[in-house]
């Protein structure tokens, strides 16, 4: 069959399995792995081997970038300490323990080779966390697991490269530390720059298709130069995604962002599914290589199971003190909350008093605006600290969350790809590659397959719509207040400088007040068309939506509401704005 035929067949399999999975109550990624394994042993199917550079350099950058764009940066920032502990400390510990164990279990390999394989099986997989997202657990748990899987690749790949280098030359602890620091610092710097340039360029482009096309190359623009300079291209892609996701609502049009989301969701489905399918398809080739190299399949299977068990035990032992430290940080935060509240009150009172006072002599309008912006920034920072303390205290992890945090640490495509990057001269290479596959496939199938059951047993399944109903109503009231304040401003004008008719403003105020009782109140378009010009109505609706958006983004900066409520409100605003713009365009 031609390569195009295989691609078409693969897409059809992905679609069929994705549609079938909910009906049989099995996660689609697990079914795809099993389908791949079964197909790989069919006589008509040749042994399949995938160049690890394709996975690490072509597949993962866009997937990590897309996940970072979708991740609320507010939640990521709040748990950055825990994420850093897991993505650095846990990987280092797992690499050391598994590496030493493998030197005892696999004859003929040295410590450097054992550490290389230990580094390979240590990081959790970003693609595998899709199973966690679908389990309807706490959003904070999902954030920690996704954040860990995004960043731990940098630690693991630096350790892998250092261990491979150590098989041929002497490598010092200082050189490894220096490589790691450079890998992270250079990646964050380049990723931040790429994210900012991405937004700056796309904000100037009005063609939706071109705008989305640019987004498709952003992860590679971040990845390639970072890797060339010896940094972590994957962390650079993640950083670019976080910067883009945070500032896109301010810089990009609603239409462009919704188009981008639709395209990227489709790509995510196809690429993620292909990763799991190809992962299973490689098993026959790995088994054949072990047999061809006169290795023992039984030994590889047993050692793989032991290595998988070992990383799970190490993760358990690491998570326990990590949760204890997390609770200590929450307790310290609660102790200083009262002082922060006093500071917030003082800053708010000072800012309110300054608004009523005349402009100081010798200060021009620009200087006054800078002073007011500085006061607003200080107040926002204090409110953000208070919100962080309240969030971490309300969403504190207990033993049940700790159990799930341990069990959800699955390995996947990164492990399978990275272990195949071992040099061809590595002793018992085929056995080590199969061990890596057993760890990845075993944790994915066992832990991923039982994860929904474990969530139910622990009672961690949540209904976000029911939990956030009251919060979303409170958020809506705040947005209505921002709109009414904007409508009451005497300088409110249309884009051409002409004032709005007073009866239009009165009706807009009445409608905003009515939405407090009924947020889904429909617009009376027929009445608007008969009494007011469409152009005036369109301009006023866009002004109202802009006031809501500005207030929403300020509340996001303060962290006053959950990211789920803020994201849902932003989606509603985007949909309304696109509708108004389309009606205005058709009317014109």
Q: Of the given ranges (98-112, 124-138, 434-448, 492-506), which has the lowest mean pLDDT?
A: 124-138
Percent of the chain residues topping a pLDDT of 90: 28
453 lies in the same domain as 353: no
208 lies in the same domain as 151: yes
Buried b (16+ CB within 10 A) or exposed e, 212-250: beebeebbbbbbebbbeeebbbbbbbbbbbbbbbbbbbe
Angle 551-553-558 (CA atoms, 0-180°, nearest 5)?
95
Is residue 582 predicted with pLDDT exceeding 80? no
Is residue 521 predicted with pLDDT exceeding 70? no
Domain containing residue 99: 3-40+49-326+396-462
Nearest one of 443, 425, 450 to 122, comparing CA atoms: 443
267 lies in the same domain as 361: no
Buried b (16+ CB within 10 A) or exposed e, 7-42: eeebeebbeebbeebeeeebbbbbbbbbbbbebbee
CA-to-CA distance for 281 and 264, rounded, in angstroms? 25
354 lies in the same domain as 457: no
What pLDDT was estimated at residue 90? 94
523 lies in the same domain as 489: yes
Q: Of the given ranges (54-63, 258-267, 289-298, 362-371), which has the lowest mean pLDDT?
A: 362-371
pLDDT in tens, 58-70: 888 998 899 899 8
Comparing 571 with 518, which gets the higher pLDDT?
A: 571
What pLDDT was estimated at residue 585? 54
What pLDDT was estimated at residue 303? 92
Task: Give, rounded to a whole angstrom, the gap between the first and last alpha carbons of the chain.
Answer: 52
Please tell me the number of Cα atoms within 13 Å of 126 on its side-chain side: 30
Comparing 354 with 193, which gets the higher pLDDT?
A: 193
493 lies in the same domain as 507: yes
Using 50, 70 and 90 to split pLDDT, how confident is the model at 533?
low
Number of independent structural domains in the chain: 3
Is residue 584 predicted with pLDDT exceeding 90? no
- Domain final residue pick, 462, 491, 511: 462
- Domain final residue pick, 404, 432, 462: 462
Residue 403 burial (C-beta neighbours within 10 Å; 0-12, 13-18, 19+): middle
Using 50, 70 and 90 to split pLDDT, how confident is the model at 171?
low
Angle 370-373-378 (CA atoms, 0-180°, nearest 5)?
125
387 lies in the same domain as 421: no
455 lies in the same domain as 485: no
Q: Of the given ranges (12-21, 270-279, 355-364), which has the lowest mean pLDDT?
A: 355-364
pLDDT in tens, 69-83: 988 889 999 999 999
Comparing 47 with 551, which gets the higher pLDDT?
A: 551
CA-to-CA distance for 344 and 211, rounded, in angstroms? 41
Is residue 439 predicted with pLDDT exceeding 90? yes
- Which residues have C-beta within 8 Å of that of residue 581, sequence separation ≥ 6? 255, 538, 542
Using 50, 70 and 90 to split pLDDT, how confident is the model at 96?
very high
Which CATH number characterizes residue 113's domain? Answer: 1.20.1530.20
7 lies in the same domain as 25: yes
Is there a contact between 64 and 268 (Cβ–Cβ < 8 Å)? no
187 lies in the same domain as 229: yes
| Mean pLDDT for the stretch of residues 220-246 | 93
Instruction: Write out the two tokens for 505.
Output: 């403003």
369 lies in the same domain as 457: no
Please tell me the number of Cα atoms within 13 Å of 91 on its side-chain side: 30
What pLDDT was estimated at residue 526? 42
What pLDDT was estimated at residue 586? 45
Mean pLDDT of the chain: 86
335 lies in the same domain as 424: no
What pLDDT was estimated at residue 152? 87
| Mean pLDDT for the stretch of residues 339-359 | 82
Q: Rounded to the nearest 10 degrees, what angle do helices 365-394 and 297-356 cross at?
A: 140
Using 50, 70 and 90 to split pLDDT, how confident is the model at 311?
very high
pLDDT in tens, 523-532: 655 444 544 5
């Amino acid at each position: 069959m031609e390569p195009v035929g295989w691609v078409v067949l693969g897409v059809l399999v992905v679609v069929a399995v994705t549609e079938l999975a909910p009906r049989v109550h099995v996660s689609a990624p697990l079914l795809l792995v099993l389908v791949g394994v079964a197909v790989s042993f069919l006589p008509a199917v040749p042994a399949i081997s995938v160049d690890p550079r394709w996975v690490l350099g072509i597949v993962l950058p866009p997937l990590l970038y897309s996940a970072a764009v979708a991740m609320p940066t507010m939640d990521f920032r709040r748990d950055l300490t825990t994420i850093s502990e897991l993505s650095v400390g846990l990987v280092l510990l797992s690499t050391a323990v598994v590496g030493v164990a493998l030197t005892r279990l696999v004859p003929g390999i040295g410590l450097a080779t054992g550490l290389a394989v230990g580094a390979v099986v240590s990081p959790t997989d970003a693609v595998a966390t899709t199973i966690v997202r679908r389990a309807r657990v706490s959003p904070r748990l999902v954030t920690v697991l996704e954040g860990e899987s995004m960043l731990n690749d940098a630690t693991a790949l630096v350790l892998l490269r250092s261990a491979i280098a150590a098989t041929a030359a002497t490598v010092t602890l200082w050189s490894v530390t220096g490589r790691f620091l450079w890998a992270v610092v250079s990646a964050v710097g380049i990723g931040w720059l790429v994210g900012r340039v991405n937004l700056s360029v796309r904000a100037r482009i009005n063609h939706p298709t071109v705008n989305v096309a640019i987004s498709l190359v952003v992860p590679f623009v971040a990845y390639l130069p970072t890797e060339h300079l010896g940094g972590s291209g994957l962390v650079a892609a993640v950083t670019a995604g976080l910067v883009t996701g945070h500032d896109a609502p301010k810089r990009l049009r609603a239409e462009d962002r919704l188009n981008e989301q639709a395209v990227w969701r489709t790509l995510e489905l196809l690429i993620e599914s292909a990763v799991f399918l190809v992962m299973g398809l490689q098993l026959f080739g790995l088994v054949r290589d072990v047999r061809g190299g006169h290795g023992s399949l039984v030994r590889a299977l047993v050692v793989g199971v032991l290595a998988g068990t070992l990383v799970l035990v190490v993760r358990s032992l690491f998570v326990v003190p990590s949760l204890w430290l997390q609770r200590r940080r929450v307790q310290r935060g609660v102790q200083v909350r009262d002082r922060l509240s006093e500071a917030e009150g003082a800053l708010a009172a000072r800012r309110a008093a300054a608004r009523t006072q005349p402009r100081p002599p010798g200060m021009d309008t620009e200087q006054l605006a800078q002073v007011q912006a500085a006061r607003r920034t200080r107040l926002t920072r204090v409110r953000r600290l208070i919100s962080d303390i309240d969030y971490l205290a309300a969403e504190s992890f207990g033993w049940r969350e700790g159990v799930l945090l341990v069990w959800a640490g699955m390995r996947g495509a990164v492990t399978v790809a990275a272990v195949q990057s071992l040099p061809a001269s590595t002793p018992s290479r085929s056995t080590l590659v199969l061990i890596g596959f057993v760890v990845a496939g075993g944790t994915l199938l066992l832990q991923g397959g039982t994860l929904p059951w474990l969530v139910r047993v622990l009672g961690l399944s949540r209904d976000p719509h029911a939990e956030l109903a009251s919060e979303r109503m409170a958020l809506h009231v705040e947005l209505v207040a921002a709109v009414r304040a904007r409508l009451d401003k005497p300088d409110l004008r249309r884009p051409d400088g002409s004032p709005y008719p007073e009866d239009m403003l009165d009706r807009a105020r009445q409608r905003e007040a009515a939405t407090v009782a009924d947020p889904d109140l429909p617009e009376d378009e027929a009445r608007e068309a008969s009494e007011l010009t469409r152009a005036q109505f369109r301009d006023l609706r866009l002004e109202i939506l802009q006031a809501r958006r500005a207030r929403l983004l300020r509340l996001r900066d303060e962290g006053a509401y959950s990211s789920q409520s803020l994201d849902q409100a932003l989606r509603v605003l985007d949909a309304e704005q696109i509708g108004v713009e389309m009606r205005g365009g058709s009317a014109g």
